[in-house]
């Protein structure tokens, strides 16, 4: 938890703070707990969402809280999509590395199991042995 309260950090009155908390809770964006004297306790993730919501609200003062909430949802979805894209790229890179490693191991196994002398001896036996007679 932060040493200063998020309410004073964001420059909100008690009513404004509780209204924004209620909007975010109703939207399922945060889930705060209650502490002593019913004080709202926010996790770091909840505080980050509240800060981002407040930043959107300040840059779009002519808009209402519901519009800011929708904008926050949009920004969080975009961020989530970017994270998934980065994770996908990372997994594809790991997969390419694994495929390369498997290919190299198969080549090493093929080279190790290939015995030119044994192959020559099998060929020589085949050439020099007469066909079975009936």
pLDDT score, position 80: 94
Q: Which of 4, 12, 6, 13 is nearest to 46 (CA)?
A: 6
pLDDT score, position 81: 96
Would you say residue 3 has pLDDT above 60? no
Measured CA to CA, the distance from residue 58 to residue 52 in angstroms comes to 10
pLDDT score, position 134: 66
Section 75-97 average pLDDT: 95
Contact between 71 and 60 under an 8 Å Cβ cutoff? The reply is yes
The class that CATH gives domain 6-84 is mainly alpha
Confidence tier at 4 by pLDDT (50, 70, 90)? low
pTM of the model: 0.62
Section 16-24 average pLDDT: 89
Section 46-74 average pLDDT: 90
Neighbours of 130 (CB within 10 A): 5
Q: Own/partner pairs for 71-77, CB < 8 Å, 24+ apart?
A: 72/29, 73/27, 73/29, 76/29, 76/49, 76/52
Would you say residue 18 has pLDDT above 70? yes
Domain with CATH 1.10.1660 in the chain: 6-84
Contact between 50 and 31 under an 8 Å Cβ cutoff? The reply is no
CA atoms within 13 A on the CB side of 40: 20
Q: Which residue has the higher pLDDT, 64 or 96?
A: 96
Report pLDDT digits (tens) over 96-126. 999 999 999 998 888 777 777 887 888 899 9
Rounded to the nearest integer, the mean pLDDT of the chain is 87
Would you say residue 77 has pLDDT above 90? yes
């Amino acid at each position: 938890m932060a040493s200063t309260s998020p309410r004073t950090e964001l420059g909100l009155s008690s009513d404004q703070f509780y209204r924004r908390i209620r909007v975010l809770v109703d939207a399922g964006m945060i889930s705060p707990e209650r502490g002593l004297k019913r004080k709202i306790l926010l996790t770091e993730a909840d505080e980050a969402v509240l800060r981002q919501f407040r930043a959107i609200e300040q840059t779009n003062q002519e808009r209402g809280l519901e519009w800011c909430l929708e904008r926050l949802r949009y920004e969080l979805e975009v961020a989530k999509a970017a994270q998934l894209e980065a994770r996908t790229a990372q997994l594809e890179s790991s997969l390419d590395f694994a495929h390369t490693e498997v290919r190299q191991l198969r080549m090493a196994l093929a080279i190790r199991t290939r015995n030119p002398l044994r192959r020559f001896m099998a060929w020589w036996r085949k050439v020099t042995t007469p066909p079975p007679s009936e």
